[in-house]
Structure 1
Amino acid sequence: MLKAGALYFSLTIAFFIAVISALLIMLAAHYRGVYLKEIRFARLAENLDSGSAYVLADQNWVEGKKIMDLYGDGTDSLLLEQKQWGLFDLAVLRSFRLQDTLQRAFLIGRQTDSVALYLSDEDRPLALSGDTKITGDVVLPKAGIKKAYAEGKPYANVQTVYGGKMSFSDRNLNELDQSMLKKLKDHLLQDRERLPLLIQSELVVSFLDSTQSFRLAKNAELNAVALKGNLILFADSSVTITRSARLTGIQIYAPVIHIEAGFKGNCQLFATESIVVEKEVALDFPSVLGVIRTSPSVAQPNISLGDHVVFNGIIFSHEQKRSPLQTLVSLGKETKVKGEVYSTGLVKLSKGVVIEGKVSCHRFIMQTPVTLYENFLIDVLLNRRARSRYYLSSRLFQGGQSNHILKWLD
């Protein structure tokens, strides 16, 4: 009995030793697999960093796909894709190593100059009155800048320009990137009938997936919807965006776009006739409002922002050839723009307007209850230095400096 018990005990001990040994081997294999996977994905991440640096460095490549074998051994590959996304460039990178894949997407922006104001030369000076203050470089007509008395008060500051230098402007504004403009016009004139009608009230499309395009119903109203990501909406008539809509990162193309009071979001909106933004709307960076004249018409293409609007991004109006009814950008009382305003025509400012960035136009107008002033700035602040140093602009404005990552995308 003693020998049989000893044998049973030995077998039991051997069994547990075998089980523990097997578990240790499995654990070691598991941790080795995890370690090797971490190494592979670390290499994939490094490859993505290399791809990002390549995309940002090549300013001449703005659209298309490229496949790169990084080390020439067929194991580390990069698929680079770049295309225009509204007023910015969208880069999508995919890194491959054997069966593993890592991917990322981001918007590309460009650093800008230090100019606060560009006013084209129409042989008339710029007049400053009241609590107006300009901070940053200015490019002005040869007639210069002067202090003036308007609305019952003189210019309140000592210098006409603070913290910047002055140079002379040309008859025209700096040219915009024609290839980018053409794509925007193509979208505005695109045949919508072949597109599916948007029926979803909630839709999220990753920028790592293909772009989804939809048409909107006639005189569409975006009410109580949540739309986000790699999504473009087209309309043949007016589009109304209510305050209950949640729009994040999408694009909309229509003849007329109307944003109701109280709306908050982030989107790029493009129209051929007008964009109207009611009071107390907040549009986050990088939002865009753009009106492009695509055909001769009697109406004046315009962008109108109501009172107490906060806008972060780019506002621009464009026509290829100056017409009698020039394009118009109008900013309401106490409205703040953090970014850029560009108009191949007129910029209408109300009292209390603040532009933290740059404004470019042919002529300023200010409407008071008594008088219409031309090239007068009354109680407005133009401050290039107040804009965030991390702000990035669009390739649309040629002459920008190096490319940088503007925003990471899901």
Structure 2
Amino acid sequence: MSWPRAKIRAGALQFSVFVGVVVSLILGAFIMLIHIHRTLSVRSDLFLETIRNADTGIQYSLNHEINDSISLPIFEEDYKHLIVSQKQWGAFKIVSSKSTIKQYTFEKVAMVGGWEMKRPALFLKDENRALILVGQTRVEGGAYLPKRGVRSGNISGNSYYGSRLIYGNTRESSEELPSILPVITDSGAQLNSAIPFEQSMQLKNSFLKETTYIYQAAPINLFDANLTGNIIVISNSKITVHPEAKLTDVILMAPKIEVKNNVVGRFQAIATKNIEIGKDSQLRYPSALVVKERISQNIQADQPTEINQIVLQERSRVEGVIIYEGQPKTRNYEPQVVLKINAKVKGEIHCNQNLELLGTVEGSVYTAGFIAKQSGSVYQNHIYNGKILEPALPEEYAGLLFENSKKAVAQWLY
């Protein structure tokens, strides 16, 4: 007995084929998705490793001295490369780390300064004179003092009003200030490639590129210029910064630099004679003021000469470092760094000659001597109403680069 054959409708057969095709497409898409996911995961891992290697390069530069640039041989794979470079940038250093893995490249660049776990409030060079404190003077933190020590004094009927002379531990100083690394103050070799200065310049240059130099032999007046980044402005005579100018991370170089009242910015000013910061001006961290006298400016006893100074006028504020490096003087009764009343430095001062401190330093002072000019008289190694407050400086601050000092990132660059 034979059974009747079942008839399958054509529509059902088409539906079966359709279902099979859909299932195949879904499986194919799923397989492709897995492949793409694995590929992206591998690429993501490679890119993240590239970033981590760049971080490794920055950390290496903080722990080692580098001349120009080096390639770090830290990988077994020949498709991985790490190049670390370093250069002087005014009072700081710039370090960069370029990491490459196959087609991926990542570069980090930072401005670096010196770092110490515990800074002294004061290091006063021993020139066989005691330190004299007068008025509302206050020194908080450790102090390195001459063998003759510290005592209270009197100026025009004003004595010392503190309950202690030094609010911290004291040690004997030496006949030499702690040495800092040289500051680059001469870019003459680069002037052939410099662009001429123009009023109302608008220029931004990445620190990943070559430095842009702007030069003019005559005085430069920065009225409404907007300059940002890897730029050095040079004049053979004087640079004047007006409050309308916008300066960020650039370097100014001239024999004389004047910053007018109410200027706000973040830059380094490097001169061979004078720097003046006007009233109510604010230079944000990490800024620097540097005067490095030329050898030809050596002062003779029988030859009058211009007084070279860094002056911070009333209510001005500088966050960063101030460096004065002068030539030896036979008799010196003038201050080379002056902080007027209510002027403030949040950072460090390193002066190999005299400092007149009427304002406040939230940080550290390294100086060969103090001068107080009051009532027509000059008082050597006197501080009158000045304040040095080392605990007010943040622990992560990075500033003066001493020989063999540790380094830390002061600012990530772009």
Q: TM-score, with normalisation over the residues of structure 1?
A: 0.89
- 5 Å-filtered alignment, 1:149-160, equals 149-160=154-165
Residue equivalent to 1:192: 191
| 1:334 maps to amino acid | N
Q: How far did residue 196 of structure 1 move?
A: 1.5
Larger C-alpha radius of gyration, 1 or 2?
2
Taking structure 1 as reference, are residues 213 and 191 closer, same or farther at Cα in structure 2, changes over 3 Å only? closer
Q: How far did residue 14 of structure 1 move?
A: 4.1
2:134 to 117, 129, 133: 129
Deviations 1:247-274 (A, max 9, x none): 1111111111111111111111101111
Q: How far did residue 216 of structure 1 move?
A: 3.8
Residue equivalent to 1:218: 218
Deviations 1:165-201 (A, max 9, x none): 231431x433333xx24xx2433x5573552214472
2-side partners of 1:217 and 1:106: how far apart?
31
Residue equivalent to 1:316: 323
**Kept in 2: contact 1:346–1:365 (CA 8 A):** yes
Residue equivalent to 2:263: 263
2-side partners of 1:372 and 1:208: how far apart?
50
Runs of 4+ aligned residues of structure 1 deviating over 6 Å after TM superposition are none
**Kept in 2: contact 1:193–1:215 (CA 8 A):** no
Residue equivalent to 2:301: none
Q: How far did residue 405 of structure 1 move?
A: 2.4
**Kept in 2: contact 1:327–1:343 (CA 8 A):** no
* SS of 2:11 mapped into structure 1: helix
The yes-or-no answer on 1:35 pairing with 2:10 is: no
2-side partners of 1:217 and 1:236: how far apart?
5
State the identity %. Answer: 26
**Kept in 2: contact 1:319–1:327 (CA 8 A):** no
| 1:192 maps to amino acid | L
1:301 to 308, 320, 325: 308
1:374 to 380, 405, 412: 380
Residue equivalent to 1:164: 169
2:107 to 103, 108, 128: 103
| Runs (5+) with no aligned partner, structure 2 | 1-6, 298-304
| Runs (5+) with no aligned partner, structure 1 | none
* SS of 1:37 mapped into structure 2: helix
2:352 to 323, 327, 344: 344
**Kept in 1: contact 2:202–2:227 (CA 8 A):** yes
Count of paired positions: 398
1:404 to 395, 404, 408: 408
Q: How far did residue 381 of structure 1 move?
A: 1.2
Taking structure 1 as reference, are residues 294 and 66 closer, same or farther at Cα in structure 2, changes over 3 Å only? same
**Kept in 2: contact 1:52–1:93 (CA 8 A):** yes
Residue equivalent to 1:115: 120
1-side partners of 2:294 and 2:346: how far apart?
27
Residue equivalent to 1:248: 248
2-side partners of 1:327 and 1:83: how far apart?
32
* SS of 1:209 mapped into structure 2: coil
Q: How far did residue 69 of structure 1 move?
A: 3.6
Deviations 1:102-145 (A, max 9, x none): 11111222223532222223332221121111112222222221
